[in-house]
Chains A and B, each alone.
Chain A
């Protein structure tokens, strides 16, 4: 079997994606993504630019791809509408933040075992 080497791309807060790219990566329509932005669940990098939601050239940090993809799964698997999805997205982000904090705290907790 041919084994080829592939370079991995980062989905970090440093990379940017457009609303069209985010739609392609997440399987959600640009219209639904615009709704999520309007509900405040999805925050574009250039959110402060006052503009019409229909035509805004928003971009997003690439790390939101992951959360938006799980929103896509939730929509598919639970039949949720944009309003329910935006609540779910906000809660998912909060849980991710809390899990990261918990992990950081746990790693500072001494795990020393004294041999007897």
Chain B
């Protein structure tokens, strides 16, 4: 088992009062709590902080933790043999559990003390996982492979880490940030308690062409100045295959051309739209002929795109 220095994690001395521990915890919780913090590493840090606090705030669990002595963080260590007795029979192994699991039975640790053996039904724990999926998968629906490592308790409060692997069917029509629930896929319930749930948050991965907003998709549509001015019939890639799009004459940069029902499918019925956002692109190294023609156009045209600017020298 790897040792974690709970006092160091909270930044308090080993003889800190429970008030000082609470204060240190609150300060770190404000900083790293995943529901409050924008720190992308906050969740990981908060897990450690919360694990440390849940053990140290409980006098019984804190005394037990202190008995383990002081080790270097990450150091492999064996708890004294009588710990095995406390957790049941002598066959019990410390190899496959976390330090926090050890204190869960004393009302400390990371799992709310639910491991204390008893005959009343205890519901299983809920887990939350982010599911990164591509825009193509959201369009078609997909099967997602999930591999988790979760603590599992038996009726006597023994705990071990078990790998959990299963496939989840993600229906078509999910959008970014969509929440799905997999009932019964969380921690196992004890003594007839129901299993917990697994909560998935869909995170659409960035796509080279499309940007999703709900069920609508946005795509940049590069046009030449002459296509934009004269109108054109261009091929546009969509998730369901290429379509022809009629660009009307006199189209400007930033205009959105709507391709109805070419976005992501909705859950019940219908589809979002695909918007092609016009971008007028000029050749960066035009040929001599192109230059000459553009010069001719410049000389012939009276079009002033800055007609709305004030005239004169700005005085």
Query: Are the CB atoms of B166 and A4 closer together than 8 Å?
Result: yes
Q: Select one of A7, A14, A78, A104 contacting B33, CB under 8 A.
A: A78
What's the Cα separation between A100 and B145 when bound, in Å? 27
How many residues of A are in contact with the other chain, CB < 8 A?
35
Query: Are the CB atoms of A104 and B165 closer together than 8 Å?
Result: no
What's the Cα separation between A9 and B220 when bound, in Å? 34
Scan A1-22; emit 1 where CB is below 8 A from any B CB, else 0. Answer: 1011111111110100000000
Chain B residues with CB under 8 Å of A100's CB are 177
Among the stretches A28-36, A38-46, A48-56, A63-71, the one at the interface with B is A63-71
Scan B27-61; emit 1 where CB is below 8 A from any A CB, else 0. Answer: 00100011110000000000000100000000000
Known: A1-B163, A8-B181. A77 touches B33 (CB 8 A): yes
Query: Are the CB atoms of A5 and B166 closer together than 8 Å?
Result: yes
Q: Select one of B171, B176, B220, B256 contacting A103, CB under 8 A.
A: B176
Kindly state whether residue A25 has any CB partner on chain B within 8 Å: yes
What's the Cα separation between A44 and B170 when bound, in Å? 28
Known: A8-B200, A11-B181, A14-B267. A104 touches B284 (CB 8 A): no
Known: A65-B179, A112-B279. A8 touches B26 (CB 8 A): no
Kindly state whether residue B76 has any CB partner on chain A within 8 Å: no
Chain A residues with CB under 8 Å of B251's CB are none
Query: Are the CB atoms of B213 and A12 closer together than 8 Å?
Result: no
How many residues of B are in contact with the other chain, CB < 8 A?
47
B66 to chain A, nearest CB (A): 24
Please report whether the interface of chain A is mostly helix, strand, loop or mixed according to DSSP. mixed
Known: A9-B183, A108-B277. A78 touches B213 (CB 8 A): no
Query: Are the CB atoms of A66 and B179 closer together than 8 Å?
Result: yes
Known: A65-B179, A78-B26, A112-B220. A8 touches B211 (CB 8 A): no
Query: Are the CB atoms of A73 and B169 closer together than 8 Å?
Result: no
Query: Are the CB atoms of A8 and B279 closer together than 8 Å?
Result: no
What's the Cα separation between A11 and B281 when bound, in Å? 43
Chain A residues with CB under 8 Å of B79's CB are none
Query: Are the CB atoms of A10 and B180 closer together than 8 Å?
Result: yes
Query: Are the CB atoms of A12 and B185 closer together than 8 Å?
Result: no
Kindly state whether residue B138 has any CB partner on chain A within 8 Å: no
Which B residues form the contact surface with A (CB < 8 A)? 26, 29, 33-36, 50, 126, 143, 145, 163, 165-171, 176-183, 185, 197, 199-200, 211-214, 216, 218, 220, 222, 254, 256, 267-268, 275, 277, 279, 281, 284
Which A residues form the contact surface with B (CB < 8 A)? 1, 3-12, 14, 25, 27, 63, 65-66, 69-70, 73-74, 77-78, 92, 100, 103-104, 106-108, 110-112, 114, 116
Among all A-B residue pairs, the 8 with the closest Cβ atoms: A107-B211, A8-B180, A104-B213, A11-B179, A107-B213, A112-B220, A70-B35, A5-B167
